[in-house]
Amino acid sequence: RLGETSDVANIETGPLYQVAADCKVEFRYLKDGGGEGKTKLSLLIYDANSTEPEVIWSQENDMSGIWLLKKVGIGAREKNWRIAMEGLKTVDNTTLLFDSMHFTNCSLPVPEECQAGQKQCKNGVCVATEQFCDFSNDCGDWSDEFECDSYPSRCNFEEGLCGFVQADTDDFDWVWRTGSTDIDGLGPDEDHTYGNTTGHYLFIEPSEEAIDSIARLIGPSFKAATANSQDNCNVRIWFHMHGGDITQLNIYRHDEGTPTDTLLRTISSEQEYAWMEAILKIETN
């Protein structure tokens, strides 16, 4: 519980070990009263050697005084990072609580003999073949991201849209941006590639648009493997999609010379509060 009006309470861990790309923190919290930012609970992260934290999750709405479970993605971090929980209170007669914090999927992989469908990293670790060159430190030493020039249309949006274009038949556009989305407890506070507020990503603000509005982005053309090929062609994307007014994220394949698109995947809005990967197999005749 917090003290007098306008008090800020902050509690943080000591330095932590290097963690894997799938690392998440789970905790339960209770927030009663103080909506519209009058009280706020924030999860902060300090990267190694950093004195300034970045907010990776926050909640400023009144959550009706019930215990809620929250899972937040941490992502790959070098050793000596820290995490903190901060409570802000500007009015009386409100309550902020959190409990049962623990980490999941944070252990680094260990060297072992590779199995079918795996490749070996420089450090001896084996990871799935499709995890190479996916903008994620799955090996633990980044060696799965070293030699990626042969991958077509690979883009982390740091230099712009990389040949992607906004459709001219939709209702509104995706926005190229960095940092927090300013949507409390919903949008990401950092990008996936760098895991900080300097990295870029594409974002839509659905609450500003009419119901059933669509924002469509069209990717560059490339030649995919055929159905009879020994090599699988996969399209991999990282997405952050949690609550709010977004109904669906639809991913299509468009074949030149055909009037309709092929739906590859539909993702619903209520996902974990983390960057998540979708791997889509592409086949052409």
Q: What is the pLDDT of residue 11?
A: 93
Alpha-carbon distance of 81 to 140, in angstroms, equals: 15
Q: What is the pLDDT of residue 12?
A: 93
Nearest-CA neighbor of 190 among 15, 81, 71, 57? Answer: 57
Q: In this predicted model, what pLDDT tens digit does every residue of 104-117 receive, in sequence order?
A: 999 988 898 999 99
Residues 142 and 148 sit within 8 Å (Cβ to Cβ): no
Question: Burial of 145 by CB count in 10 Å (0-12 exposed, 13-18 middle, 19+ buried)?
Answer: middle
Alpha-carbon distance of 137 to 221, in angstroms, equals: 27
Q: What is the pLDDT of residue 100?
A: 95
* pTM, full prediction: 0.76
Minimum mean pLDDT range among 16-20, 24-28, 91-95, 257-261: 91-95
Quick check: 99 pLDDT over 90? yes
Q: What is the pLDDT of residue 280?
A: 87
- The residue among 77 and 188 whose pLDDT is bigger is 77
Mean pLDDT, rounded, for 184-204: 81
Q: What is the mean pLDDT of the chain?
A: 85
Q: Which residues of 202-225 are buried (b: 16+ CB within 10 A; e: fewer)?
A: bbbbbeeeeeeeebbeebeeeebe
Alpha-carbon distance of 239 to 114, in angstroms, equals: 29
Dihedral over Cα of 261, 264, 269, 274: its sign? negative
Q: Which residues pair with 276 in a beta bridge?
A: 239
Q: In this predicted model, what pLDDT tens digit does every residue of 210-230 receive, in sequence order?
A: 778 889 999 888 776 665 655
Strand locations in the chain (E): 8-12, 24-32, 39-46, 54-59, 68-73, 82-89, 95-104, 118-120, 126-128, 165-166, 175-178, 200-203, 217-218, 233-239, 248-253, 262-268, 276-282
Mean pLDDT, rounded, for 147-166: 88
- The residue among 238 and 209 whose pLDDT is bigger is 238
Q: What is the pLDDT of residue 209?
A: 73
| Triad 136, 140, 143: Cα angle to 5° | 75
Alpha-carbon distance of 65 to 103, in angstroms, equals: 24
- The residue among 36 and 65 whose pLDDT is bigger is 65
